[in-house]
Amino acid sequence: MPSMQQQDFTPWLNWIDSQYEQMLARTIELSHINSGSFNPAGVNKVGLQLLEYAKVLDAKVEILPVAPFKHIDNQGKLQEFPMGNAVRLTKRPEAKLQIFFCGHLDTVFPLDSDFQQTQWLDDETLNGPGVADLKGGLIVMLKAIEALERSPYAANIGWEILFNPDEEIGSQGSAGFISEAAKRVHLGMIYEPSFPDGNFAGERKGSGNFSIITRGKAAHAGREHHLGRNAVRAMCDFISALDDLNGKRTGVTINPALIEGGGANNIVPDLCLSRFNIRLEKPEDEQWCLDNIQQILDEINQRDGLSIEMHGHFGRKPKLLSAANLKLFQLACDCGSELGLNLTWLPTGGCCDGNNLAEAGIPNIDTLGVQGGKIHSSDEYLKVKSLTVRAKLSALMLMKLATSDDLNWLISDKPV
Ligand SMILES: [Zn+2]
C-alpha cells in the first residue's frame, strides 16, 4: 500500500451520517421517475434532477447528446431509437490526480412497466425500480464527492462525472465519452450496486451481442415446395452449430437467445432472425469465436438460394485486473475495514462500463454503489442503511488519495 499520512477524517464521515434522510428521499424521488433506456424524456428528467442535487459541487456542466441506439428488428431491418442525453460535470482539471466518476441514468424498466413505485419490504429494505441499479448509487456518488469538497483535501483532486443514458443496453452511444475520459483520468469509480454482501466485482467477462438473419425463397408448401428455400431450416442449422461451440474453449459461453421467423403453415419461410450473446474471459477469445462462427456462416452461404448475415460486435472487452487496479481494490478494502466493513473482490460473468474503462487502461472499481439485489426484476431492493455506509467508503477513499504522498502507482505513466 502507498503510505498515507495520518489524518483524522471523521468529521467529514460523520457529516455523511447526518445526510441519511436526504439521501433516502432523493433515491426515492429518482426511483419514481421512469427512466427506461428507451424513454429519453424520463432519462433526461433524471439527469436534470441530478444537476439540481449537484449544484452544491459548483462544477462545469455539459449536456452531451448521444447517438441513437441502432437495432436490427425482427424483419431484419435497421431501426434507430433516440436516447436521452449524457451529462458531464468537471472540476479542477488542473489537479495532479484526476478521478472519473460514472453512473447510468437509465433502468431496464420501460415506460409501460408495472414497476414504477417504491415500497418498504421491512424497516431496512426498500423495493423500487432502480433503487439499487443505479439510482441509489448516483446519490452515494454525489454525497461522497460533496464530503470531499467540504473537506480541506479537495484541492488535491480534480474530477469529472459522467451520467450516461444507455448503460442497460450496452452503452453503445456513450462508450465514446468513457474512452475520451480515460485519456484524462488516472482512476475510475463507478456506482453499480455491490454484491448483496457488499463485496466488489473484480474481473469481469467480456460480452458480445449479435443478430443473425437468414434469407431464403418463399414458395407454396404444397404446389411448389421444391422451389422454396427454407430460411428457418438454415437458421436452425446455424444455431445448432453455434451452440456446439459451447465447451470447446475454457471461459467462453454462447447463448442462442431468440429465434423468430416464418409464418403461415403453407408457405416455405423466406426470412428468419435470431439473436445470441457470447461471454468470454480473455481478449484473444474474441478472434476464436469470430473465426469459428465465420466457418458456419460460410457453409450456409454456399447453399443454393440461401443467404445468412451477421450483425453485432463485442461491445465489452473482458475486464482484467492490472497491478494498479489490484492496489485500488486493496485501498477500498482497507478503507472498508476502517469503517468496520469486511470487504473483498470476486470475479463475475456480468459486465458494465468498468469493462470499457479497464480496456482503456484505467484502474477502476465499478461496484461502489449501494448494497441491494434482485436487480433487473420487480423484486429489486436497496438496503437503505448502505446509502451512508457506501458514501463514507467512497469519501474515505477520496480523502486518503488526496492526502497520500505516494501516488506513483497511479500517475507515473500519465502526464496531466
Ligand atoms: Zn446498472
Answer yes or no: do 156 and 291 share one domain.
no
Q: What spacing in Å lies between the alpha carbon of 94 and ligand 1's midpoint?
A: 30
DSSP, collapsed to helix, strand or coil, labels residue 367 as strand
CATH of the domain at 264: 3.30.70.360
Q: What spacing in Å lies between the alpha carbon of 24 and ligand 1's midpoint?
A: 19
Q: β-strands 200-204, 345-348: how paired?
A: parallel
Model pTM?
0.91
Answer yes or no: do 172 and 275 share one domain.
no
Q: What spacing in Å lies between the alpha carbon of 147 and ligand 1's midpoint?
A: 24
Q: What spacing in Å lies between the alpha carbon of 36 and ligand 1's midpoint?
A: 12
Answer yes or no: do 24 and 50 share one domain.
yes
Q: What spacing in Å lies between the alpha carbon of 27 and ligand 1's midpoint?
A: 15
Q: What is the pLDDT of residue 414?
A: 56
Q: What spacing in Å lies between the alpha carbon of 303 and ligand 1's midpoint?
A: 43
Q: What spacing in Å lies between the alpha carbon of 49 and ligand 1's midpoint?
A: 18
Answer yes or no: do 100 and 178 share one domain.
yes
User: DSSP string spanning 144-184?
Assistant: HHHHHHHSTTGGGEEEEEEEES-GGGT-TTTHHHHHHHHTT
Q: What spacing in Å lies between the alpha carbon of 256 and ligand 1's midpoint?
A: 23
Last residue of a domain, one of 277, 297, 316: 316
pLDDT digits (tens, 9 = 90+) for 298-351: 999 999 999 999 999 999 999 999 999 999 999 999 999 999 999 999 999 999
Position 4 in a domain: no
Q: What spacing in Å lies between the alpha carbon of 227 and ligand 1's midpoint?
A: 49
Q: What is the pLDDT of residue 177?
A: 97
Last residue of a domain, one of 316, 339, 362: 316
Answer yes or no: do 43 and 90 share one domain.
yes
Distance CA 411, CA 378 (A): 42
Q: What spacing in Å lies between the alpha carbon of 381 and ligand 1's midpoint?
A: 13
CATH of the domain at 342: 3.40.630.10
Q: What spacing in Å lies between the alpha carbon of 353 and ligand 1's midpoint?
A: 9
Position 296 in a domain: yes
Q: What spacing in Å lies between the alpha carbon of 122 and ligand 1's midpoint?
A: 24
Q: What total of structural domains would you count in the chain?
A: 2
User: Residue 280 is part of which domain span?
Assistant: 206-316
Q: What spacing in Å lies between the alpha carbon of 218 and ligand 1's midpoint?
A: 43
Q: What spacing in Å lies between the alpha carbon of 168 and ligand 1's midpoint?
A: 6
Answer yes or no: do 29 and 163 share one domain.
yes
Q: What is the pLDDT of residue 415?
A: 43
Residue for grid cell 441499479: 133
Answer yes or no: do 192 and 216 share one domain.
no
Position 93 in a domain: yes
Position 1 in a domain: no
Q: What spacing in Å lies between the alpha carbon of 375 and ligand 1's midpoint?
A: 8
Answer yes or no: do 18 and 138 share one domain.
yes
Last residue of a domain, one of 291, 316, 341: 316
Answer yes or no: do 178 and 218 share one domain.
no
Q: β-strands 187-190, 364-365: how paired?
A: parallel
Distance CA 66, CA 43 (A): 12
DSSP conformation class of 220: B
pLDDT digits (tens, 9 = 90+) for 121-154: 999 999 999 999 999 999 999 999 999 999 999 9
Sign of CA pseudo-dihedral 82, 205, 159, 152: positive
Answer yes or no: do 89 and 235 share one domain.
no
Rounded mean pLDDT for each run of 10 residues along the chain, 416 residues in total: 67 98 98 98 98 98 97 89 98 96 98 98 98 98 98 97 96 95 97 96 96 97 97 98 98 97 97 97 97 98 98 94 96 97 96 93 97 97 98 98 92 58
Answer yes or no: do 146 and 95 share one domain.
yes
Answer yes or no: do 80 and 102 share one domain.
yes
Q: What spacing in Å lies between the alpha carbon of 21 and ligand 1's midpoint?
A: 23
